[in-house]
Amino acid sequence: MTTVNTEKLSSARFAEATDAFVEVFTASVDFDQRMAQQDIQGSLAHAEMLAKIGILSAEELNDIKRGLTQIAEEIAGGDFNWSIKQEDVHMNIEARLTELIGVAGKKLHTGRSRNDQVATDIRLYLRSEIGTIEAQLTRLQNALLVLAEREADTIMPGFTHLQVAQPVTFGHHLMAWFEMLSRDRERLQDCCKRVNVMPLGAAALAGTSYPIDRQMTAELLGFSRPSNNSLDSVSDRDFAIEFCAAASLIMLHLSRFSEELILWSSAQFDFIDMPDAFCTGSSIMPQKKNPDVPELVRGKSGRVTGHLVSLLMLMKSQPLAYNKDNQEDKEPLFDTADTLINCLRAFADMMPNIRAKKDNMYQAAKQGYATATDLADYLVRKGMPFRDAHEVVGLAVRLGIETQRDLSEISLTELQQFSSQIGDDVFDILKLEGSVAARNHIGGTAPASVRAAIEAARAQLQGS
């Protein structure tokens, strides 16, 4: 619940009250209260440090700990009275702390500002969210490995320009998705290195005259180190922008996965059966089974990318140091994290329950002369220059089109009219199974290569 019945802690400077509309317009408590846990966490560490340097007595420190613990319980229980007049999460908690323990509550803000306080809270929040996102990424990658292993031998057409190109295995295709997510994980882990730097102690912009121990506070909060420059500490949100960029790439990948799932589940492709629990029907057409989850994820990718652009525009013209503009960083950041976590969760739950329609995939791979490149490679191995081999295969494909036959269905005599170098052994490579089996190397589509890739991927996940 949010009320407007408490006086501001910072109102002594002003001779008149804030306009009622402006008070609501400038307040952030409705959305930044979700950082209450991080705000309390930062305040507890700050209080420990203030006690060490003699600003707080042992009794005052205990009072602050007791008061903040009670506040945390009130917030968790939904009993905390949030006030718009206190503007934000920080002032609301400080006001309630002072109400509970008296003068000691007013001392807590010594040596810090809301500027470094909010920067610290955001970093603590984002560090936690990255951990949650990594866990969901791991779930999704493990789900892909389960499905890829199950379909390591399943032949399907591989596409370029959405035209049949060469045969691949479904397992190999799924492992391509796995690799995309692995890079996404690496970007998140690298981003977290820059998130995990502590701004607290930078105060408003210039540091503080108190003999604070920033290293101690950083260690208490689990940061890798304190930040190096007080101006930079409070004024930049590049770490949040970097996170949104990493999130946008993850959502871009999920959107591409979604597009393929949507196509494959259509009657025209009919490659997979989507689990009923992740689809919906039509209000008017009883036969419909709509792939709503992939469609929504595809749509939400634009939402996350929009948040990235929003934060880029937010920061692009700001002079040093802190500006009120930065209040606008939280809603896009919060929504990015929420959206990403939910989309990853949906995919991680859905992927193990997708069923491949193997016969349909196999027949589709036979329709586009997918082994044409294998025939060209065969002729090259016989000593024919590749460009000549390309011409020979083109003639063979034309015959197949004219007679509505796959290359493997054209007789040896007919093939030899294009090149006498073609022998009986050509049919080993013109079959789909022979084509995929021939690509047995690191990164190849052969079932043996796919299984080796899955084994390596499992070891990678276990070691991460």
Can you give the CATH number for the domain in which 49 is found?
1.10.275.10
Per-residue confidence band for 232, with pLDDT thresholds at 50, 70 and 90: very high
The pLDDT of residue 11 is: 59
Q: In the annotation, is 161 catalytic?
A: yes
**Structural domain of 431:** 366-463
Taking only the tens place, the pLDDT of each residue in 164-176 is 999 999 999 999 9
37 and 76 fall within a common domain: yes
The pLDDT of residue 285 is: 80
d(CA 253, CA 46): 41
Taking only the tens place, the pLDDT of each residue in 293-321 is 999 999 999 999 999 999 999 999 999 99
Q: What is the mean pLDDT of residues 138-159?
A: 97
392 and 410 fall within a common domain: yes
The CATH code of the domain that includes 397 is: 1.10.40.30
Q: What is the mean pLDDT of residues 228-237?
A: 97
Q: What is the CA radius of gyration of the chain?
A: 30
Q: Which of 362, 397, 431 is the last residue of a domain?
A: 362
Q: Which of 57, 282, 441, 464 is catalytic?
A: 282
**Total structural domains within the chain:** 3
67 and 192 fall within a common domain: no
What element of type H or E holds 83? Answer: strand 82-83
Q: Which of 161, 209, 411, 420 is catalytic?
A: 161
The two structure tokens encoding residue 362: 């196999």
217 and 86 fall within a common domain: no
DSSP for 257-314?
A: HHHHHHHHTSTTT--EE--GGG-B--SS-TT--B-HHHHHHHHHHHHHHHHHHHHHHH
pTM (two decimals): 0.91
Taking only the tens place, the pLDDT of each residue in 414-447 is 999 999 999 999 998 899 999 999 999 999 999 9
Q: In the annotation, is 282 catalytic?
A: yes
260 and 302 fall within a common domain: yes
134 and 270 fall within a common domain: yes
What element of type H or E holds 139? Answer: helix 114-150
Q: What is the mean pLDDT of residues 86-93?
A: 96
The CATH code of the domain that includes 218 is: 1.20.200.10
Indicate if the pLDDT at residue 6 is higher than 50: no
Indicate if the pLDDT at residue 113 is higher than 60: yes
Indicate if the pLDDT at residue 1 is higher than 70: no
Mean pLDDT of the chain: 94
